[in-house]
Amino acid sequence: MLKGFRGQLFDFADNDSTDNTVAKHRYYADGLLLVEAGKVVAAGDYGALASQAANAEIMDYGTCLIMPGFVDAHVHSVQTKAIASYGKELLDWLESYVFPAETLFEQPEYARIHTRFFLEQLLKNGTTTAAVFSSVHAAAAEALFEEALKLNMCIIGGNTWMDRNAPEELCQSAESSYELSEQLIEKYHNYQRLHFAVTPRYAITSSPDSLQLAAQLFASRHDLYLQTHISENLKEIETVHHHYPNHHNYLDVYDNFGLLSSRTLLGHGIHLTEKELKRVADSKTKVVHCPSSNLFLGSGLLGFYRMQRHGIELAMGSDVGAGTSFSMLQTLQDAYKVSALKGEPLSAMDAFYAITLGGAKALQLDALIGNFDKGKEADFVVIDLSKDELIDYRTRDTSLEELLFALMTLGDDRVIKATYLMGERWTYYD
């Protein structure tokens, strides 16, 4: 059945360029998105598409803004309970709050309930695609894939590998992490909308043997992802040097094991040096900017445009539990504040590109999602600016650019009227 969604339509055109600055937006004040069997059939001006839409069932969203679903490229499904935990920097915060929270995910029923809550928080905030770290446990990773499957969400995920420098109950041998990953790949990778990422947490909790095995698994298929953390915090970097004294720098640890590639997602990267950034760019490795988390843990300020000048593809991550909101709008607000402190304010267009088509490109998923090109999977959000009186007041009679900037500065889940996955509206009760 052909379905139509009418409203203000906004997305970015795919121009086959990795240069974010030339991304072109498309906007129709009275637009129509046509969807059939979960895929985009057409998107454009309502009047121009009227004849094509003659037999469609039309949902009229009036003046609401319809845009592609948001991409959260770095988030933890097992840390929701640790969100808003007081007073620590990265390494102490992990010890005090995160590791205890992750330990509970050994239990399948606990893992299922809390993962479901996590995924629904993403959807409530308009996030339709996410790259997710779970815990070391089979139950946590299985819950992530099974619940995402039920919701029909596009998820990249994997079991987190840790074999040292973490509580005993959270350490698993590299061999058993490898085996678990293999089983999960067999069962879930490329099944429906699921993708597998080899997920060593970071160099501190991975022994050389563990990184070696992770690299071996990553190289075993061309279509896997690899996600990890890097250069988030200065003490973390010092500790990595202590554990890997023979490597030139933090990036070199991952590089040496063969973990850098166009399918590698490095969370944070705040303190990467010029030399490291050059190597990130040369290897086509992606960086995921997590500004909310970076501010909350006092980790530092990443230069968005510094990355761009190096030609590095950037995506955005909420990084909950260190991030303080599941909302990618709030994440953009923090990205703006960080960029302002760096003296190069982030534009609204670059910001929204990063959480839609740019995010999809960084995750190598732009053939499937990210904008309203014909044939793409119809994941989208409906934004009602009138839901909040201040946002309504601020965005009336403004330019599109001003409207988007006010939306990312003032908006959050309150303005998300509906979230659609492959043309179907998500509700809590499915």
Footprint on this chain of Zn ion (rule: CB under 5 A)? 267, 319
Instruction: Provide, rounded to whole angstroms, the least separation between the CB of residue 319 and Zn ion.
Output: 5
**Which of 68, 267 has the CB closer to Zn ion?**
267
**Which of 162, 383 has the CB closer to Zn ion?**
162
Instruction: Provide, rounded to whole angstroms, the least separation between the CB of residue 76 and Zn ion.
Output: 6
Report CA Rg, the chain. 21
What does the block give as tokens for 377?
């999977």
**Which of 69, 267 has the CB closer to Zn ion?**
267
What does the block give as tokens for 343?
């003296």
What does the block give as tokens for 94?
């992990």
In whole angstroms, give the CA distance from residue 270 to residue 230: 8
Beta strands in 334-427 (DSSP E): 380-383, 416-421, 424-425
**Which of 93, 188 has the CB closer to Zn ion?**
93
Nearest to 209 by CA among 263, 156, 149, 164: 164
What does the block give as tokens for 348?
């609204």
In whole angstroms, give the CA distance from residue 292 to residue 197: 23
From the number of C-beta atoms within 10 Å of its C-beta (0-12, 13-18, 19+), residue 262 rates as exposed
In whole angstroms, give the CA distance from residue 97 to residue 99: 6
Instruction: Provide, rounded to whole angstroms, the least separation between the CB of residue 234 and Zn ion.
Output: 17
Amino acid, single-letter form, for residue 279 = R
Instruction: Provide, rounded to whole angstroms, the least separation between the CB of residue 301 and Zn ion.
Output: 17
**Which of 90, 174 has the CB closer to Zn ion?**
90
**Which of 236, 366 has the CB closer to Zn ion?**
236
DSSP string, 33-50: EEEETTEEEEEEEHHHHT
Instruction: Provide, rounded to whole angstroms, the least separation between the CB of residue 73 and Zn ion.
Output: 11
Instruction: Provide, rounded to whole angstroms, the least separation between the CB of residue 232 and Zn ion.
Output: 8
**Which of 230, 378 has the CB closer to Zn ion?**
230
Instruction: Provide, rounded to whole angstroms, the least separation between the CB of residue 387 and Zn ion.
Output: 30
Phi, psi (rounded to 5 degrees) for 4: -120, 145
**Which of 317, 423 has the CB closer to Zn ion?**
317
**Burial letters 185-222, b for 16+ CB under 10 A, else e:** beebbeeebbbbbbbbbbbbbbbeebbebbbebbeeee
Instruction: Provide, rounded to whole angstroms, the least separation between the CB of residue 79 and Zn ion.
Output: 8
Instruction: Provide, rounded to whole angstroms, the least separation between the CB of residue 338 and Zn ion.
Output: 16
**Which of 73, 378 has the CB closer to Zn ion?**
73
Instruction: Provide, rounded to whole angstroms, the least separation between the CB of residue 254 and Zn ion.
Output: 15
For 166, the enclosing helix (H) or strand (E) is none
Instruction: Provide, rounded to whole angstroms, the least separation between the CB of residue 74 and Zn ion.
Output: 6
**Which of 267, 269 has the CB closer to Zn ion?**
267
**Which of 120, 319 has the CB closer to Zn ion?**
319
What does the block give as tokens for 181?
């990953």
- Tell me the pairing of strands 380-383 and 416-421: antiparallel
Long-range CB contacts (< 8 A, 24+ apart) of 331-335? 331/72, 331/290, 331/291, 331/292, 331/355, 332/408, 333/408, 333/409, 334/291, 334/292, 334/294, 334/295, 335/289, 335/291, 335/304
Long-range CB contacts (< 8 A, 24+ apart) of 401-404? 401/347, 401/348, 401/349, 402/348, 404/10, 404/348, 404/349, 404/351, 404/352
